[in-house]
Structure 1
Amino acid sequence: MFTNMLIFAAILPGPEVKGLPVPTENNRQYTYKCNALASWYATLLLVAILHLTGIIRLTILADQFGSVLCVAVICSDILSVIIHFYAIHTKQTCRMTHSPIYDFFMGVWLNPRIKILGQEVDLKMLAEVRLSWLLLFLLIIPAALKQYEAFHTISWPMIFILTAQLLYINACMKGEECIPTTWDIFYEKWGWMLIYWNLAGVPFVYAFHAYYILVNSLRTHKPVEDTSTIFIIILFIVLFLAYYIWDSSLSQKIRFRMQEQGTYISRNAFPQVPWNVIKNPKYLKTECGSSLLVDGYFKYCRKPQYTADICMAMCWALSCYQWAGILPYFYPSFFIGMIVHRYTRDMARCAAKYGEDWKIYCTKVPYAFFPGLI
């Protein structure tokens, strides 16, 4: 899979987008070939051919879930060691500290790139946008196929979690051109934390709900009993509403930045939700040069995308309602904790960067997550 993604990244068509200037490299702007959507479609076709022809039955991944997880963990650790010492050996380190453990954990290489078929491929971008989400896809589809193989039907909770996560995966692929200007790509180095999270954390933590539904349906031999149609319909309604707000608000924010920097490109990848770009947006000009968006969703609260993301995470957990247990709620609990930490980090960073302008912004947009409440 890793080899396929490297080749796809090198040869498939896609728009080229410039990232933010990198201060530690004389404000160099790296170019990113955003062909994740083409890679996604190519992977769908390849996987369908392999499964339908019987060359590789996808259900083997469900049968060997534990083994695949162990391989992912081991490969993440090995790759982290290789990347760490390669960056040191080739003198491509950045912002080193006096703690070797911290440097290994957080990384020492900011822009890890290698040549594939004559093309530069950014490994950090590849892992964040493609490997993590495509591996998730290759885990959840086998769970549904395994349930169908056992019962000749796929339960509504399984259909729900597949819908929810395929929407999420597709959104990451279709919006790849928005990623190069994000904090992860611009500032965070590619160390054990990001490598492990992208290759072992995201796919297996996110796939948990599909396997919780699968394992319990196999254990009880009741995949469709005790399913409340009304509850599932409510979950779908909340999911689609939350997804719409999440997708459109993220698009508004990032494309506002891209318009400001002159890197905005219009794309028509499915689905392009309404109100994803604000025409003539209102913004607060700051003394440091950049602008703060105070229009669209962002005139009501500062982090609407976080609220929508939390709602989707809760929907994922609630899809497992047929079986009592707290494990499905690990992900939303972890996610809320991460969001709170990220929010406090962002607030401190923005206060230091914008100074008095940040106080003015917080006066204009006083709510963080939900207008009128918090």
Structure 2
Amino acid sequence: MSSQVTKHAALNPKTTHFEFFGPPGALAVTLGVPFLSYALNLGCSERLAACPPPLKFIPGFLLATVEDSNWWSSLWDTKVVLVYAGWYAFCVAAWAVLPGDYVEGLPLRTGGTKKYKINAFSTFLLALGLVFGWIIRFGPESFTYIYEKFPQFITAALLNSILQAAFVYAKSFNNGELLALGGNSGNFIYDFYIGRALNPSIGSFDIKSFNELRPGLILWALIDISMVCEQAVRRGGFTRVTDSLWLVVGSQIWYVADALYNEPAIFTTMDITTDGFGFMLSVGDLLWVPFIYSLQARYLVFNQVELGPIYTAAIMGFNLLGYYIFRAANGEKNDFRNGRDKKNLHYMTTEGGRKLITSGWWGRSRHPNYLGDIIMATAWCLPTGFNTIVTYFYPIYFAVLLVHRQMRDDEQCAIKYGKDWDKYKKIVPWRIIPYVY
């Protein structure tokens, strides 16, 4: 028994380095994300006629809500909570029922690997088929429910995020649970937020990877479709939906489809290999992604913008540039790691035998895929015009997130590769944007 305890302690050392400014920062983000989710989506809504000027955004939101007791009570809707629970159950059932291959993740500290079932894209196609069939049968007005109940859906997603984070935190104390190196501090607030368990699972069902791609990401696409239906009802049909809304929705759904189709690529990301699953990832996957990333589409429902063919083509080209960089960079990395390198990329070998790419996209910067992501995020906002900064919250936040993630990755790699990482940084000095950062 004592040997098992010693082995468990060796595999799961105490966390001594805090991120997000430690427990106070974790608490601030835990409380701040729900508030900001309501603020962004309700402050930028028809309740205030249009997005208010940036400096009046938060005061305008508070004025419109805090003084109205009915608004607070309206945030809870039992039917919406049940609808959201049904949606989550559908995603779980699709994971279990739909066929899919199993792929191995990267080696764990235990020496073994985890196997993940791959059928997120099939789940996406099934969901789209059911939604499109519903709309064809009952008309666009039958699928405006998400738009009409948007704040209530935020509450439902938040509730699910809290319950899941609490469940995996409690489960992390089971014997034999592999913990995240950054989530075993012993401080409840910090560990609950950052994630204590590395790979919380129920049998072969991996909770973290499932949430990363399925319920929130697919829901983002369905929210966008609901926005198109709402505008179609107002303007007299789908043929009258504005080009700006079609451009935003088409670009975002393509992004979702691409992520789901390339599902195996996620198993080499920091979220899967390093981070624990706690409130940070649960609220990010289930609330933040679908309800914040769809802000541009929601804004265009009632602030209807006609771009015309020239501006539409220019924005589409900018978005495709970002997509090309993002996909080409990720493709190079995945092919190299899987022994399918067709470009004969240059690389350096570390003392531990790991290979670090030093040519191609990864020779231009250490995170070229982040550059593509930032370009795409900006392209999704351009169709909304420049009357408000609120619709540009996503790329601003996303750039900060990616820079922070790059810094975290650099710290991890410095520990992992030691002096070899310093050599690599001299060969590839740019972090994200070549010759800029």
Same topology, TM > 0.5: yes
Looking at structure 1, the residues matched to 168 and 415 of structure 2 have their Cα atoms a distance apart, in angstroms, of 32
Q: Which has the larger radius of gyration?
A: 2
Which one of 362, 378, 396 corresponds to residue 333 of structure 1? 396
1:148 partner letter: A
Name the SS for the 1:319 alignment partner.
Answer: helix
Summarize the Cα distance change of 1:89–1:291 in structure 2 as closer, same or farther, 3 Å threshold. closer
* Corresponding position: 1:306 with 2:394: no
Partner of 1:235: 315
Q: Kindly indicate whether the alpha-carbon contact (under 8 Å) linking 1:278 and 1:296 is maintained by their aligned counterparts in 2.
A: no
Deviation at 1:90, TM superposition (A): 6.3
Looking at structure 2, the residues matched to 303 and 58 of structure 1 have their Cα atoms a distance apart, in angstroms, of 39
**Once the two structures are superposed, what CA deviation does each residue of 1:35-75 show, in whole Å capped at 9, x if it has no partner?**
11111111111222233333992211111112111211122
Q: Kindly indicate whether the alpha-carbon contact (under 8 Å) linking 1:178 and 1:255 is maintained by their aligned counterparts in 2.
A: no
Looking at structure 1, the residues matched to 347 and 196 of structure 2 have their Cα atoms a distance apart, in angstroms, of 35
Looking at structure 2, the residues matched to 93 and 359 of structure 1 have their Cα atoms a distance apart, in angstroms, of 30
Name the SS for the 1:17 alignment partner.
Answer: strand
Identity %: 30
Q: Kindly indicate whether the alpha-carbon contact (under 8 Å) linking 1:17 and 1:180 is maintained by their aligned counterparts in 2.
A: no
1:138 partner letter: L
Question: Mean alpha-carbon deviation: is it higher for 353-362 or for 122-131?
Answer: 353-362
Summarize the Cα distance change of 1:57–1:372 in structure 2 as closer, same or farther, 3 Å threshold. same
**Once the two structures are superposed, what CA deviation does each residue of 1:115-150 show, in whole Å capped at 9, x if it has no partner?**
4xxxx2211111101112111011110101111111
Deviation at 1:362, TM superposition (A): 2.1
Q: What is the root-mean-square deviation in Å for CA atoms of aligned residues?
A: 2.0
Looking at structure 1, the residues matched to 160 and 413 of structure 2 have their Cα atoms a distance apart, in angstroms, of 36
Deviation at 1:80, TM superposition (A): 1.7
Looking at structure 2, the residues matched to 147 and 248 of structure 1 have their Cα atoms a distance apart, in angstroms, of 35
Q: Kindly indicate whether the alpha-carbon contact (under 8 Å) linking 1:22 and 1:28 is maintained by their aligned counterparts in 2.
A: yes
Q: Kindly indicate whether the alpha-carbon contact (under 8 Å) linking 2:178 and 2:199 is maintained by their aligned counterparts in 1.
A: no
Question: Mean alpha-carbon deviation: is it higher for 68-77 or for 49-58?
Answer: 49-58
Name the SS for the 1:345 alignment partner.
Answer: helix
Looking at structure 1, the residues matched to 168 and 404 of structure 2 have their Cα atoms a distance apart, in angstroms, of 27
Which one of 287, 290, 297 corresponds to residue 203 of structure 1? 290
**Once the two structures are superposed, what CA deviation does each residue of 1:238-277 show, in whole Å capped at 9, x if it has no partner?**
1011111111211211332233xxxx7xxxxxxxxxxxx6
* Corresponding position: 1:185 with 2:261: no
* Corresponding position: 1:216 with 2:296: no
Deviation at 1:290, TM superposition (A): 0.8
Name the SS for the 1:53 alignment partner.
Answer: helix
Summarize the Cα distance change of 1:8–1:172 in structure 2 as closer, same or farther, 3 Å threshold. same
Q: Kindly indicate whether the alpha-carbon contact (under 8 Å) linking 1:306 and 1:339 is maintained by their aligned counterparts in 2.
A: yes
Q: Which runs of 5+ in 2 are unaligned?
A: 1-86
Matches within 5 A, 1:1-374: 1-23=87-109, 26-54=110-138, 57-88=142-173, 92=177, 94-95=179-180, 96-115=184-203, 120-152=204-236, 153-217=240-304, 223-224=305-306, 227-259=307-339, 278-321=342-385, 324-374=387-437
Looking at structure 2, the residues matched to 52 and 203 of structure 1 have their Cα atoms a distance apart, in angstroms, of 24
Deviation at 1:91, TM superposition (A): 6.1
Name the SS for the 1:13 alignment partner.
Answer: coil
Q: Kindly indicate whether the alpha-carbon contact (under 8 Å) linking 2:193 and 2:280 is maintained by their aligned counterparts in 1.
A: yes
Deviation at 1:102, TM superposition (A): 0.8
Looking at structure 1, the residues matched to 390 and 330 of structure 2 have their Cα atoms a distance apart, in angstroms, of 29
Name the SS for the 1:366 alignment partner.
Answer: coil
Summarize the Cα distance change of 1:337–1:319 in structure 2 as closer, same or farther, 3 Å threshold. same
**Once the two structures are superposed, what CA deviation does each residue of 1:170-221 show, in whole Å capped at 9, x if it has no partner?**
111111011122221122111111001100011111010100111323xxxx
Partner of 2:7: none
Q: Which runs of 5+ in 1 are unaligned?
A: 218-222, 265-276
TM-score by length of 2: 0.74
Deviation at 1:313, TM superposition (A): 1.2
Name the SS for the 2:338 alignment partner.
Answer: helix
TM-score by length of 1: 0.86
Aligned length: 344
1:76 partner letter: S
Q: Which has the higher helix share?
A: 2
1:107 partner letter: G
Q: Kindly indicate whether the alpha-carbon contact (under 8 Å) linking 1:288 and 1:353 is maintained by their aligned counterparts in 2.
A: no
